[in-house]
Amino acid sequence: MTAPASVERVYTPRILAVFGATMLYFGVAGVAFPVLPRLVERELGGGSAEIGLAFGVWAIGMLVVRPFGGYMLDRVGRRPVMIGGALALVVAQLLHTPAAGTGELWVLLVVRVFSGAASSVMYLSQATVATELPPAEHRDRVFGLFSTVVLVGFAVGQVFGEIVMQAHGFAWAFALAAAFCGSTAIVACVLPETRPPDAVPAAKVRDLFHPAAARVGVINMLVFVGFLGFNAFIADYGEEFGIEDARWLLLTYSVVVMVMRSVSGLAFVRFPRRWLATFAHSTVIIGALLLATASSTAWLYAAAVVLAIGLAWNVPLMILIAVDSASDAERSRAVATVTTFGDLANAVGTLALGFVADAFGYDGMYVVVAGSSLAALVLMRSPFLAHVPGVTGRPSSPLR
């Protein structure tokens, strides 16, 4: 029995190739979360502040490059940028262990900045292509599944990264990450070029940012702090509860997010986006407060589940709101703008959270995470987004 025509039209081999490239790339990020904190602790004698610094400077690399990423996509094209970013990331992953072997934190930080710069253009190209390949009426369904395969990559990277590290050491763990990057480049070679014919690279620095997407980006930044607070520090926090294998906490989080994102396409076309964001941000607040008050391993796992439910829909919702607030020619700039604010959260938020954890402990740090998400919730419900059309537009009825 043949598949319905609508399914064949939506999930074409090219779209599936984008999913594959994205899943492989996010395997790299998945490896970093359980492996990098241990690398900093064991090879460099660092603590939570140094762990936050290692993740934070990676985000600085992303932050510096991301605003120019939209320009690169419009000037060079989506596919060349994706392939080039993947190859650069291969080199960056292989440099992690030698950098830590020098015994100097700053050497590792340089590698992390380079890795962040390569990662920046990789994700931007993939997310942009994922919004351009499908017809406008199916964009929400495709992007919902796109955001799901992101978590598949995370889960695979987290689990196998820690297993390889424990069995063979740091060098092999980062070699696994490099293999993910190389496979991403190979898959990207079969993708079509989706750059619109009327796409014009920004002529001025101020044109690199899309104004409506910038407002959405502020919301994304405030909530994204919760993602960082969990993924970057949970391995260290879990050790306070006697948890040596952080991969199971990270896997629990990833599985819940995958489940939520697997139904996101259905939710996005049935419920108002402002309502969905309110639910997501409120749940993040509850999850962060549960982490702050955790008193047992079971409580920690329950907090991970609640936090995952809230964080699952935030990024895809924010990107879709930004895309539906821009014209076709502005799409790469809108995606670049809203994700730049995520990079800002990475760069500033991770560093700040590391120092807060040093000063007040992880319970105090997660209270700060809850407060950041509360600020996002207030802005989402306020006139701050009143003139951003993607907030109120129906996903199944494009605004253009």
Q: Which CATH number do you get for residue 106?
A: 1.20.1250.20
Q: Quick check: is 397 in a domain? A: no
In this prediction the pTM is 0.66
The whole-angstrom separation of Cα 384 and Cα 361 is: 33
The whole-angstrom separation of Cα 52 and Cα 137 is: 41
Q: Quick check: is 94 in a domain? A: yes
Percent of the chain as helix, strand, coil, to the nearest 5: 80, 0, 20
The whole-angstrom separation of Cα 360 and Cα 231 is: 19
The whole-angstrom separation of Cα 350 and Cα 285 is: 18
Q: pLDDT tens digits for 28-79? A: 888 988 899 889 988 888 877 788 788 878 878 887 887 777 778 877 888 8
Q: pLDDT tens digits for 352-374? A: 887 888 888 888 999 999 999 99
The whole-angstrom separation of Cα 191 and Cα 49 is: 41
Looking at the predicted structure, is the pLDDT value of residue 2 above 50?
A: no
Question: Using CB atoms within 10 A of its CB, is residue 389 exposed (0-12), middle (13-18) or buried (19+)?
Answer: middle
Range(s) of the domain holding residue 190: 5-392
Structure token digits, residue 256: 């819940």
Q: Quick check: is 57 in a domain? A: yes
Q: pLDDT tens digits for 86-102? A: 999 999 999 999 999 88
Q: What is the pLDDT of residue 109?
A: 93
Task: Please tell me the total count of domains within the chain.
Answer: 1
